[in-house]
Amino acid sequence: MIYGVDVFTFHDVLEICKKPNKAKLNKAAKEQILKSQRNVQKIVESDRCVYGINTGFGPLCDTKISADETAQLQYNLIISHAVGVGKPIEKELSKIMMIAKVHALSKGFSGVSLEVIERMILMLEKDIIPVVPEQGSVGASGDLAPLAHLVLPLLGLGQVWEGDKVSNTMEVLEKHNLEALVLGPKEGLGLINGTQFILAHAIKGLEKFEYLLDLADVTAAMSIEAYRGSASPFKKELHEIRPFAGSKKVAARMLKFLKGSENMQAHEDCERVQDPYSMRCVPQVHGASRNSFEHLKGMAETELNSVTDNPIVLSAEESISGGNFHGQLMALPLDYATLAAAELGNISDRRSYLLLEGKYGLPRLLTESSGLNSGFMIPQYTSAALVTENKTLCFPASADSIPTSLGQEDHVSMGSISGRKFNQVLGNLVNILSVELMFAAQGLEFRRPAKCSKLIEENYTILRSKVAKLEDDRLIGQDMLAIAELINERKFVVN
């Protein structure tokens, strides 16, 4: 993969995270970068006043800076904007930010030098990853504070991850015989303008969301097996006359997952007319969330392959001060995806509740000795709490805007908050699905000797390798954590 030349997918970025040598600069990419750098130098040598190159920033855009003060201007820009607070984001998120930033800068419209870009690539290869606080970005002019922290180590400042521990940047640079860099004209601005913090959260969230969408379908199928629900709501004919892509895909998956099930055969002659919505409407609800995933994926990959700093240098004669750094284009789909992920948890909790009611041959609370034992009563409390927490996280951050920079930046996206909330909801969804999986597996115990479909039996075996059938009350919380670990490690078969 070639930085600045190839079109990256979000999967490409995740692959580069694991193997930084997978991406490089080729001759064409280097020429793009050098050409942009030369254009900036020509502007500096001219008498023209160009924002961000020989002027101050934000509300100070009308203050001209002399050529002798250029390096100090860039240095001051970085250190003054590194004001993030809160816990550090995950190391992987910082790596994604770096990869996305290198890719954008390498397109040759930012004026950042080849030396700086090559240093960032070297840091990725040597696993010298900047420590970035999670709070402080309003999502325009991009992610100023997080990106300032991301590039502090180029100046020998700030902290970096050294393996799993945090170290002082200069100590680590000295170990690798590296010196701090001095930034040239516009480089500081090119480095900290952009949406890479928002984008990194979108990419990381997409990775989680993709698997959890698949797992939610499998989990629903296991619950339907345990409930001895009907497979008829998943028939192709029903979804061809309301042909949303997401619901068609989910319906086909549900039919596949339930094919050959003896539990489905047992349902054929029962007196039930229809199942509750949380069973019957899986294609419509899960499908809507899949549509949201596809929307976010398309938007994130457009952003990934875009130039999002400011100003954009087109030539030595023309630079444009615009708004490509504005995060609204990502904030809205992230808020949409947050709601979509929360809904997967919402409907999962309803299926869990149905399995506890003691209907259609299942014992109340999924235990044969309730009274003395609480059975699975209380895990549903946890599920309900997480579902409600997710609902509170669904308020769209993009609906808010607070003016900054003395009113120069009078509408901001808050997309960084959208990205963080999205990943919080996904984290809660893991635990909600772990509860449903635990209940569904217990429900299947009361359907034996009937066999499930092949895929459901396979996942039942995976779950039982960590969590035994519940006979009498025990530390069920440990079981929930074990199932959540199986989810996070992607042990369940979802296709």
pLDDT at 61: 58
Name the residue range of residue 114's domain.
10-193
Tell which of 155, 175, 193 closes a domain: 193
- Domain identity same for 72 and 163: yes
The answer to the question of residue 2 being in a domain is no
| Residues 160 and 305 reside in one and the same domain | no
| 255 and 115 within one domain | no
Report if residue 472 sits inside a domain.
yes
Residues 394 and 352 in one domain: yes
Closest CA to 354 of 222, 215, 223: 223
Tell which of 152, 176, 193 closes a domain: 193
pLDDT on residue 223: 98
Same domain, 151 and 27: yes
Domain stop point among 193, 216, 241: 193
Alpha carbon distance 25, 16 (integer Å): 13
Please report how the helices 328-356 and 379-392 are oriented relative to each other, as an axis angle in degrees rounded to 10. Answer: 160
pLDDT by residue for the chain (495 residues), tens digit each?
999 999 999 999 999 999 999 999 999 999 999 999 999 988 888 877 777 677 666 655 556 667 677 778 889 999 999 999 999 999 999 999 999 999 999 999 999 999 999 999 999 999 999 999 999 999 988 899 999 999 999 999 999 998 889 999 999 999 999 999 999 989 999 999 999 999 999 999 999 999 999 999 999 999 999 999 999 999 999 999 999 999 999 999 999 999 999 998 876 666 677 899 999 999 999 999 999 999 999 999 999 999 999 999 999 888 898 999 999 999 999 999 999 999 999 999 999 999 999 999 999 999 988 778 888 999 999 999 999 999 999 999 999 999 988 888 889 999 999 999 999 999 999 999 999 999 999 999 999 999 999 999 999 999 999 999 999 989 999 999 999 999 999 999 999
> Are 330 and 361 contained in the same domain?
yes
Question: Into how many domains does the chain fold?
Answer: 2
pLDDT at 166: 96
Q: Are residues 184 and 211 in the same domain?
A: no
In this structure, is residue 103 part of a structural domain? yes
Does residue 253 lie within any of the structural domains? yes
> How many Å apart are CA 311 and CA 379, to the nearest integer?
53
pLDDT of residue 63: 64
Query: Looking at residue 50, what is its pLDDT?
Result: 74
Domain for residue 5, yes or no? no
Pair (206, 158) in one structural domain: no
Active-site residue flag, 75: no
Query: 352 and 215 in one domain?
Result: yes
Catalytic residue (one of 51, 227, 336, 460): 51
Residue 254 sits in the same domain as residue 286: yes
Same domain, 177 and 215: no
* HEC string for the chain: CECCCCCCCHHHHHHHHHCHHHCECCHHHHHHHHHHHHHHHHHHHCCCCCCCCCECCHHHCCCECCHHHHHHHHHHHHHHHCCCEEEECCHHHHHHHHHHHHHHHCCCCCCCCHHHHHHHHHHHHCCEEECCEEECCCCCCECHHHHHHHHHHHHCCCEEEECCEEEEHHHHHHHCCCCCCCCCCCHHHHHHCECHHHHHHHHHHHHHHHHHHHHHHHHHHHHHHHHCCCCHHHCHHHHHCCCCHHHHHHHHHHHHHHCCCHHHHHHCCCCCCCCCHHHHCHHHHHHHHHHHHHHHHHHHHHHHCCCCCCCEECCCCCEECCCCCCCHHHHHHHHHHHHHHHHHHHHHHHHHHHHHCCCCCCCHHHCCCECCECCCCCHHHHHHHHHHHHHHCCCCHHHCCCCEHHHCECCCCCHHHHHHHHHHHHHHHHHHHHHHHHHHHHHHHCCCCCCCCHHHHHHHHHHHCCCCCCCCCCCHHHHHHHHHHHHHCCCCCCC
Please indicate, yes or no, if residue 416 is contained in any of the structural domains: yes
* pTM for this predicted structure: 0.95
Residue 495 lies in a domain: no
My answer on whether 249 and 398 are in the same domain is yes
Q: Residue 170 domain-assigned? A: yes
